[in-house]
Chain A
Amino acid sequence: MNFWKVTVVGIAALAAVPVIVIATFLFTPSLDVWRHLASTVLPHYVFNSLALMLGVGAGTMVLGVGTAWLVCMTSFPLRRFFEWSLIIPLAIPAYVIAFTYTGLLEYGGPVQSFLRDSFGWRSATEYWFPQIRSLPGAMLMMTLVFYPYVYLLARAAFLEQSVCVLDAGRTLGHGAWGTFLRVALPLARPAVAGGVALVLMETLNDFGLVSFLAVDTFVTGIYRTWLGQGQPAVAAQLGSVLMIFILALILVEKRSRRGRVSHTTGYYRQIRRYRLSRPKAALAFCVCFVPVLFGFFIPVAAMALWTWQTWALVDARFFVMARNTLALAGISAVLAVAVAVILAYGRRLSPGRLTSFAVQMASLGYAIPGAVIALGVMLPLTFVDNMLDRVAMNLFGVSTGLLLTGTWTALVFAYLIRFLAISTNTVEASLQKVTPSMDGAARTLGLSATQTLRRVHAPIMKGSLFTAGVLVFVDVMKELPATLMMRPFGLNTLALRSYELASDGLLKESSSSSLAIVVAGIIPVILASTLIARSRPGRNTSQ
């Protein structure tokens, strides 16, 4: 056991605490609680969660794979624009899109008002309009903001496929459609499965959208039983069931990585895109335009308009909130990058199964819903607080109150667990760019280990460290469930305010906060899309 091993394992153990705490509830079921859950809310939660997974999974798969194929393999007007813009709906948190569309489509919203005015209807009884606050509504909106996960991975998979394989499909007598179904799609299947697994994790993680649309799922159940009814043990039981779902998704995602096809030929050529006839090209354009329009432009336009209309709300209090949010996200981002650097160096300097496993454990949080992490952090902290309080009472006769629970520290700790995977992946990828022989070269050229770190590692990695920080920063800004459940007294953030105003029915008023979050959320999307523009294999032969 050297220094690095101990440190990495220590971090992993800390990060695994909430998962372990919640998982123990799975093995210590209390029958009363279960009987109660099973006879009341559980079937409802299970049904809604499964239905959402099914609907959003199918929707994102069709939309993601379809747009990826069109963009990679065919040529139609504005194709290059769609290549990167298809991922921008990712910038909008699910709860924000729910607020916006509810605002647009509810009875008093502009769409229904316009219809009533046009057709002379006077009340809701005179016409039918789809209910936006419903399970199908939730599916549709989640699909709109989550499909880019599938799009990104499917697109990467299509680009990786050697043109030869596709050409072979053509020469063996299959048309464009046949080649897609029989060659390209099966080859891309693991990547698509991985993308859908990520989507489903996000679906299960979501709190703001489902709670606002009154679609009860596990996460809203956890929130209600814990903070509404004050039964954390029951909430933890729910959380432990949710973990089974998550575990299955993690396995699917891991398998999909292993199952990615290794291509037998490294022969890449500019893909010869299918030339589409005019009507088909128009159709392809629409297929790609619709998700971008409804997933980004319409909601952003609506929010911009409403922010304009409610400009008075952008006052001193708004800026205090914005400052809180930036501080919270900034602290978390710096810490997440620092911990990621420690993990990455630990794995490099002390390689082995133990450190690899520890780093994976530390990165598990990306799959665990924020609500579950919040619960898993709060339960042990409350326990520790109560113990400290009792000890202090016995020894000194004073009550310490709650030292850790409900503090910024606890909240930042939860963020770290949830988002550590993002920074760790980024930092590890960039550390790989510093090959071991570069270390050797620097040392034989007369630099000490510290000088090597400063003059070789730091300059090569600094860009990626910044990127890692930005990614975590934005995710913390957008985070809702853990923030809501663990908020320290008096803390308000943009996400919380947006959610609270929307929950009170003040949808227009909530849009200024939402818009601020979306603007920040665009940064990582821009980072990703610049990567996309440079990411064709065989494009850059000099590297």
Chain B
Amino acid sequence: MSLLIEKIEHHFGTKTVLHNICLEVHPGEVLCLLGPSGCGKTTLLRLIAGLEEVQSGRILLDGRIMADGHQQLLPEQRGLGFVFQDLALFPHLTVLENAMFGLVGMKDPALRRSKALAALSRVNMQDHAGVYPHELSGGQQQRVALARALAPDPRIMLLDEPFSSLDARLRVQIRDQTLHVLKESGVATVMVTHDPEEAMFMGDRIVLLREGRVVQTGTPVELYSRPSTPFVATFFSEVNTLYGTVSAGRVETVLGGVDVGNLPDGARVTLMFRPDAVQVSTSCTSLGRGQVVAAKVLATRILPGATLIHLQLPDRSTGNNVHLHARVPCVSPFPEGETVALHVPGHLMHVFVN
């Protein structure tokens, strides 16, 4: 079951919301469409579902054309599952009736019923089969929506911000369950989200969109550790940013010289590195052979799973102070006001030509 999207362009009036989108979803894969609101990710999902008409480009499922600029399969002919942002459970039907709703092709009611129940038990909602959606909690409703979409064994699952209606704690729990259910069923999945952490949690691969264009596609590791643009780098976490000019393949910064490969002399570059790339120590020797600079600890804050250290370094070229964040994976032993040693490994430094 693979989905192929070729050269999709889409306009709302005079506004172009999608530019030349090409991507492929492999069988059993969870692909996340990630991007800030208004980047066109939901439109792309609705185009795949057939809820929006393709204006130009093609969408193929298992080599069969779902839609191109001339013909469209209706949504009901595509055999896919869609979980909506507002879940869209039918309020006049019970949980079981909701789950049975998509089993239109099955003639035998007993079979339909057992299949719907099986789908409900996959999300552990079989005990609530007889109640109406409004009697359920938000997390339960979400699970029913997932079961309803999965029940007809869709060839592909489409999820539009499926966890956005849940509060933070529940969201973590439900998305974990959802991932397990999707992986067990082995269905190819496209999920839309604006939350990078959610995309990294759920996605085998991530497609990062911005203003209707694909910025970068890859595994979460690739996007996180090899961002192609400053936008990608900053989208996944807070970053420290330094600026400099290339001279003989190196850029001088407050952290010392950084190798930038074969960039031409005089090129102005932006250097980005994540707070967790910064190594901090009280003594220079423990940081190994790399370049080490001294910095003052401004403040230390303990956060879940890490300690955030605010550091201040003098920039001799400008005479100003540079402010950096470091994130170290322990309760920090560094008292405020103390001078510490810093090192940022060169391979964790992302270099972008301006």
Contacts and interface: CB of A to CB of B under 8 A. Distances in A.
Overall SS of chain A's interface:
helix
A446 interface: yes
A435 interface: yes
A2 interface: no
Given A445-B148, A460-B91, A440 B101 contact: no
A447 interface: yes
B115 interface: no
A444 B80 contact: yes
Nearest to A447: B76
Given A440-B82, A441-B84, A460-B92, A446 B51 contact: no
A446 B154 CA distance: 10
Interface in A418-457: 433, 435, 437-438, 440-448, 451, 455-456
Contact of A443 (B76, B148, B158): B76
A447 B51 contact: no
State which size class the interface on B falls in.
20 to 34
A435 B102 contact: no
B104 A440 contact: no
Tell which of B75, B101, B102, B148 has the most Cβ of chain A within 10 Å. Answer: B75
A337 B72 CA distance: 35
A456 B98 CA distance: 11
Given A459-B92, A543-B134, A437 B84 contact: yes
Given A440-B88, A456-B90, A543-B134, A448 B74 contact: yes
B336 interface: no
A322 B165 CA distance: 53
A542 interface: yes
Interface string A530-543: 00000000000011
A446 B105 contact: yes
A446 B91 contact: no
B224 to A, nearest CB: 32
Contact of A446 (B49, B76, B85, B89): B76
B196 interface: no
Interface in B223-253: none
Contacts of B82: 440-441, 444
B213 interface: no
Contacts of A455: 101
Contact of B90 (A438, A440, A443, A543): A438
Contact of A542 (B81, B91, B135): B135
B51 A440 contact: yes
Interface in B105-159: 105, 134-135, 148-149, 152, 158
B62 interface: no
A445 B84 contact: no
A451 B76 CA distance: 11
A349 to B, nearest CB: 14
B49 A444 contact: yes
B86 interface: yes
Contacts of B135: 542
- Among A443, A444, A456, A459, chain B packs the most CB atoms within 10 A around the CB of A444
Contacts of B101: 442, 445, 447, 455
Given A443-B75, A444-B51, A445-B101, A437 B92 contact: no
A201 B82 CA distance: 49
A273 B249 CA distance: 77
A448 B51 contact: no
A539 B74 CA distance: 42
A368 to B, nearest CB: 37
B49 A448 contact: no
Interface string B46-70: 1001110000000000000000000
A404 B75 CA distance: 48
Contacts of B50: 443-444
- Where chain B touches its partner, the secondary structure class is loop
B7 interface: no
Contacts of B134: 542-543
A190 B79 CA distance: 51
A511 to B, nearest CB: 43
A452 B193 CA distance: 28
Nearest to A440: B51
A437 B85 contact: yes
A35 B76 CA distance: 69
A441 B82 CA distance: 7
A440 B49 contact: yes
B268 interface: no
Contact of A433 (B76, B78, B89, B91): B91
Contacts of A441: 82, 84, 88-90, 148
Contact of A447 (B87, B91, B104): B104
A542 B133 CA distance: 11
Contacts of B149: 444-445
A442 B103 CA distance: 11
Contacts of A448: 74, 76
Nearest to A461: B92
Nearest to A442: B101
A446 B92 contact: no
B15 to A, nearest CB: 16
A459 B97 CA distance: 13
A451 B74 CA distance: 13
Contacts of B158: 444
Counting chain A CB atoms within 10 Å of each CB, which of B78, B84, B134 scores highest? B84
A443 B88 contact: no
A126 B82 CA distance: 85
Contacts of B86: 435, 437
A459 B76 CA distance: 20
B92 A444 contact: no
A442 B50 CA distance: 12
Contacts of A435: 86, 88
A445 B88 contact: no
Contact of A444 (B76, B85, B87): B76
Interface string A398-414: 00000000000000000
A446 B88 contact: no
A543 B132 CA distance: 12
Nearest to A444: B82
A465 to B, nearest CB: 14
Contacts of B91: 433, 460
A500 to B, nearest CB: 47
B84 A446 contact: no
A440 B149 CA distance: 12
A171 B115 CA distance: 60
A447 B78 CA distance: 11
A459 B98 CA distance: 14
A539 B102 CA distance: 34
A455 B84 CA distance: 19
Interface in A493-543: 542-543
A438 B92 CA distance: 12
A442 B76 CA distance: 8
14 contacts: A435-B86, A437-B88, A438-B90, A440-B82, A441-B82, A441-B89, A444-B82, A445-B76, A447-B104, A451-B104, A460-B91, A460-B92, A542-B134, A542-B135
Given A444-B50, A446-B79, 7 more contacts: A440-B82, A443-B76, A444-B149, A445-B102, A448-B76, A459-B92, A542-B134
Interface of A: 433, 435, 437-438, 440-448, 451, 455-456, 459-460, 542-543
Interface of B: 46, 49-51, 74-76, 78-82, 84-92, 101-102, 104-105, 134-135, 148-149, 152, 158
Q: Which 6 A-B pairs have the closest CB atoms?
A: A445-B102, A443-B75, A437-B88, A437-B84, A444-B82, A441-B88
